[in-house]
Structure 1
Amino acid sequence: MVAMKMQINGKAAGSCGGECFDVRNPATCELLEQVPRGTEEDVALAVEAALSAFEGWASISPQQRGMVFYRAAGLVRQRKEELAALLTQEQGKPLAEARNELEGFSHVLEYYCGLAGSLRGDFIPVTGNGYSFTVKKPLGVCAAIIPWNMPALIMGWKIAPALISGNTFVLKPASSTPLTNLTLASILNEAGLPAGVLNVVTGSGEIAGESLVRSPDVRKISFTGESGTGKRISELAASGMKRVTLELGGSDPMIVCDDANLESAVAGAIRGRFYNCGQTCTAVKRLYVFESVAREFIRKLEEGVKRLKVGNGLDKDTDMGPLNNHSQFEYIKELVAGIEEKGEGRIIAGGKAPSFKGMGKGYFFEPTLVSDVPGDSRLLKEEVFGPLLPIVTVRNLDEAIEEANRSIYGLGASIWTKDLDRIRMGCEQLNAGIIWVNQHLKVAPEVPFGGVKESGFGRENGPDILSEYLETRTIMLKT
């Protein structure tokens, strides 16, 4: 088997002659690749390469940088089937979802290509002091640590605004899903990204990730992942006065009012919870339904969930693939096993790890619905990253919002209703960074995205994110 290699200085470097880790297919547990376990020295080399490339990359026009993105987006679309198969094999999601994610990556590149011409300062009239104006300068070397659930899309979210602003970059992918990230980095190089502008270092969070955060030459860290790790990164970054963006955990509530279109709400709940096997930060993780429509809604939801086909993501008719890794699999099994014995609800659909002939020891778990969930249940307090949906009945919108806001998280929320007053109330009172109305889950690169409370701080996406990767320099001129 040929080992994958890290992209350092835009070229393959390092090998599995040293310590490596395995990348396995979560549907079969078969070995896909061995990838270098990056060391502190590897991180230092990557940062050094980015630092060396910075002046040259920052000196070219934003429009020239944007054209690299434009070409890369086209190449990704040309190779979408090949890339989707790779993404499915390492992450587990169905091919349709993998294609959708890669299309999203291309769209992100094209969006920031379109923003290239908006990088400019301001003229500030100051009476009696001549002329004053500002210019925008890139920070230098930036870095990101990304998760395994949406590796291609989140890579795009991190690198695109940083690179279009003239910064160089070091990316640390998740240990279970580095292959698509390495391939996308190679495609960007092929599209004309100069050597050293984007560097990928594979390895553990404890060594490669922490070394990256500690590096004195890294000026900004962007992290997507769980809240405990985010707090650790924030502490380490503070000592170096680094800028930080943290997109952390979420426990998104979905509120279904008694006037909602139940067919649409059921479809939204199924997609919002079980897309990517429930492994999405903004997935529907808590469902609050008005008691007057709860029986009908739950019946329709149960029927829809039981129609979902669980299987290998490479199979054409698969609706939901496996969990990504053994740790998540064991967590979901343990959580579900204790639901009824601890009085945390009643399992009305799923609840088991099915066995699939010919698929080896994959991390499959049935889409699971739990009704009659009490307010103090773990299912409502923790971020459940998997195909498990707790259902709570409420009397009215006041109660629904009160229960929704009890969480320590505040990433996203949705309200399903036709009533404008209820929409206004939900949008004003739900404590979340993004609120959907009669929809859930979709996040476009054109809009700011991020959370409140323990879901982190800072925002991804949208035009305002560019300011996070630029310094403002004020110039006062008197002739």
Structure 2
Amino acid sequence: MKMQIGGKSVEACGGEYLDIINPATGELIDRVPRGTEDDAAIAVEAASSAFSGWASTSPQQRAGILYRAAGIVRQRKDELAVLLTREQGKPLAEAKNEIEGFANVLEYYCGLASSFHGDFIPVPQNGYAFTVKKPLGVCAAIIPWNMPALIMAWKIGPALISGNTLVLKPASNTPLTNLTLASILSEAGLSAGVINIVTGPGEVVGESLVQSHKVKRISFTGEAGTGKRVAELAASGMKKVTLELGGSDPMLICDDANLKDAVAGALRGRFYNCGQTCTAVKRLFVFESVAEEFIKKLETGIRNLRIGNGLHENIDMGPLNNRRQWEYIKELVADVEEKDEGRIVTGGRVPEGNVWSRGYFFEPTLVEDVPGESRLLKEEVFGPVLPVVRVKTLDEAIEKANNTCYGLGASIWTKNIDRARIGSEELNAGIIWLNQHLKVAPEVPFGGIGESGIGRENGPDALSEYLDLKTVMIKT
């Protein structure tokens, strides 16, 4: 596939390519241009040229185009899901769910098309004032490989509906679905240059976009170290920035929790997308009085997970997306064994057999009795490994859950309203779930605190991130 700039499919200025590999088989499935600084600049110029025309259309006209695009995406859901599974690795059912999520987000922002208006403010003895909300101009978005379609929608939905134009840099190993979705937007009537896709390395294309003086806003989703680099570069231009970074989400299981529901929540919350989700359950704190029963039920559930190529039927978990993640997960589990940092209850190995020889598969893994200094509790573990810590009280659980630099999500499982209230108030996270985990609807603000980022995606709050507020004072 080629980059999408100014409504056209183009090659990179440098003439080089990136290989896109199926993580389940190791096969080459496509190649995309390895974008350069010049490509990023051309894309920004195309977005800048398209801005005035797009901003002058009514919000209702913009909504009509996005709504048509969502409809086309739904019609082509099966085809898009296969493409997503081939480049990302997730099971086909999860890929279909993500494609539906893309359409859901676009349709949600279509419904907000008339909501970003200003206010009339009486000012006693000084007349009155009114406020006007205006689009920023050219925005840039940098997205990761774990949920490329959904996170693309999180960026383009509020950006485009509010009248901005956009340059998007997809992850280098999962750009194909993004490029196809961009072509669908054009098919739905989006003007040339309103959205542009530049493929290539983050340190080249991404940094060029962040530093461009014509780019007014940066929305980045990815790991914390890169996010800090984005913030540093954006600061010199006083750009608006949203950073949705890493997480080490805790799940707290109280002794009055519905254990059947909690086990199901832990299975989905940890092993969905092979554990490669920012808000995945990454640390499990369970009351001692129910720990044995809970861990036994969870072990059974993990052993029953079916691992394989996401394109095959009845698969619960696909491979890790890339070799780097695969090596990292193997290293973490090796540390547990070599340093005696817990007991592996189940999993912990690369599956045996020739079928796995070329894919980045790793068994879903449960580790109990993990000490506080373990990397499993200190780092953002982006993969199918779940550490379990036993606790005596809710206070102990909250204290240990908060012992991290991250603050993206957290969940507490209890039937007790007071425990639910205390957990909601005292857990340090941008989103708290009660008796559920992982789900993020388009209607609700999403983002973190601490090193999990700044700003919010989704909901009406996201629109304000893409608009400048101007106040006009009138003396009477």
Q: Tell whether the structures are fold-level matches, with TM greater than 0.5.
A: yes
**Conserved? CA contact 2:12–2:36, under 8 Å:** no
Q: Matched residues in 2 for 1:258 and 1:358: separation?
A: 42
1:26-175 maps to which residues of 2 (within 5 A)? 26-175=23-172
Secondary structure of the structure 2 residue equivalent to 1:157? helix
Partner of 1:386: 383
Task: Give a deviation string over 1:342-368, Cα, whole Å, max 9, x none.
Answer: 021110110011144345500000000
Are 1:299 and 2:287 an aligned pair? no
Counterpart of 2:49 in structure 1: which amino acid? Answer: S
Structure 2 counterpart of 1:290, from 283, 287, 312: 287
Q: Matched residues in 2 for 1:426 and 1:126: separation?
A: 42
Report % sequence identity.
Answer: 75
Partner of 2:312: 315
Q: Matched residues in 2 for 1:356 and 1:143: separation?
A: 44
Task: Give a deviation string over 1:127-184, Cα, whole Å, max 9, x none.
Answer: 3433321111000000110000000000000111011110000000000100000000
Counterpart of 1:438 in structure 2: which amino acid? Answer: N
**Conserved? CA contact 1:449–1:461, under 8 Å:** yes
Are 1:415 and 2:415 an aligned pair? no
Partner of 2:436: 439
**Conserved? CA contact 2:14–2:36, under 8 Å:** no
With 351-360 and 75-84 compared, the bigger mean Cα shift is at 351-360
Counterpart of 1:137 in structure 2: which amino acid? Answer: K
**Conserved? CA contact 2:252–2:285, under 8 Å:** yes
Change (3 A) 1:363 1:31: same
Counterpart of 2:87 in structure 1: which amino acid? Answer: E
1:476 offset after TM fit, Å?
2.5
1:220-235 maps to which residues of 2 (within 5 A)? 220-235=217-232
With 10-19 and 439-448 compared, the bigger mean Cα shift is at 10-19
Task: Give a deviation string over 1:431-464, Cα, whole Å, max 9, x none.
Answer: 0000000000000110000001110111100101
**Conserved? CA contact 2:347–2:364, under 8 Å:** yes
Counterpart of 1:114 in structure 2: which amino acid? Answer: G
Partner of 1:334: 331
Structure 2 counterpart of 1:193, from 183, 190, 194: 190
Are 1:268 and 2:265 an aligned pair? yes
Structure 1: unaligned runs, 5 residues or longer:
none
**Conserved? CA contact 2:12–2:34, under 8 Å:** no
Counterpart of 2:110 in structure 1: which amino acid? Answer: C
**Conserved? CA contact 1:16–1:35, under 8 Å:** no
**Conserved? CA contact 2:273–2:318, under 8 Å:** yes
Q: List structure 1 runs of 4+ shifted beyond 2 angstroms.
A: 127-131, 355-360, 476-479
Q: Matched residues in 1 for 2:290 and 2:129: separation?
A: 62
**Conserved? CA contact 1:29–1:360, under 8 Å:** no
Q: Matched residues in 2 for 1:391 and 1:454: separation?
A: 23
**Conserved? CA contact 2:166–2:195, under 8 Å:** yes
Q: Matched residues in 2 for 1:455 and 1:17: separation?
A: 35
Secondary structure of the structure 2 residue equivalent to 1:116? coil
Counterpart of 1:474 in structure 2: which amino acid? Answer: T
Q: Matched residues in 1 for 2:242 and 2:86: separation?
A: 30
1:16 offset after TM fit, Å?
9.2
With 355-364 and 425-434 compared, the bigger mean Cα shift is at 355-364
**Conserved? CA contact 2:13–2:35, under 8 Å:** no
Q: Matched residues in 2 for 1:142 and 1:406: separation?
A: 35
**Conserved? CA contact 1:21–1:35, under 8 Å:** yes
1:114 offset after TM fit, Å?
0.1
Secondary structure of the structure 1 residue equivalent to 2:354? coil
Task: Give a deviation string over 1:75-131, Cα, whole Å, max 9, x none.
Answer: 000000000000000000000000000100000000000000102000111234333
Q: Matched residues in 2 for 1:264 and 1:247: separation?
A: 29
Q: Matched residues in 2 for 1:334 and 1:421: separation?
A: 40
Q: Matched residues in 1 for 2:334 and 2:206: separation?
A: 34
Q: Matched residues in 2 for 1:193 and 1:440: separation?
A: 36
With 466-475 and 442-451 compared, the bigger mean Cα shift is at 466-475
1:465 offset after TM fit, Å?
1.2
**Conserved? CA contact 2:87–2:173, under 8 Å:** yes
Partner of 2:463: 466
Task: Give a deviation string over 1:406-443, Cα, whole Å, max 9, x none.
Answer: 01111000000000010011001000000000000000
Task: Give a deviation string over 1:267-316, Cα, whole Å, max 9, x none.
Answer: 00000000000000000000000000000000000000000010000001
Change (3 A) 1:379 1:421: same
Secondary structure of the structure 2 residue equivalent to 1:466? helix
Partner of 1:357: 354
Counterpart of 1:476 in structure 2: which amino acid? Answer: M
**Conserved? CA contact 2:149–2:178, under 8 Å:** yes
**Conserved? CA contact 1:16–1:34, under 8 Å:** no
Partner of 1:244: 241
Q: Matched residues in 1 for 2:173 and 2:317: separation?
A: 19
Q: Matched residues in 2 for 1:279 and 1:333: separation?
A: 15
TM-score, normalised by the number of residues in structure 1: 0.98
Structure 2: unaligned runs, 5 residues or longer:
none
Q: Matched residues in 2 for 1:342 and 1:269: separation?
A: 26
Partner of 1:205: 202
How many residues were matched structurally? 476
Q: Matched residues in 2 for 1:398 and 1:65: separation?
A: 49
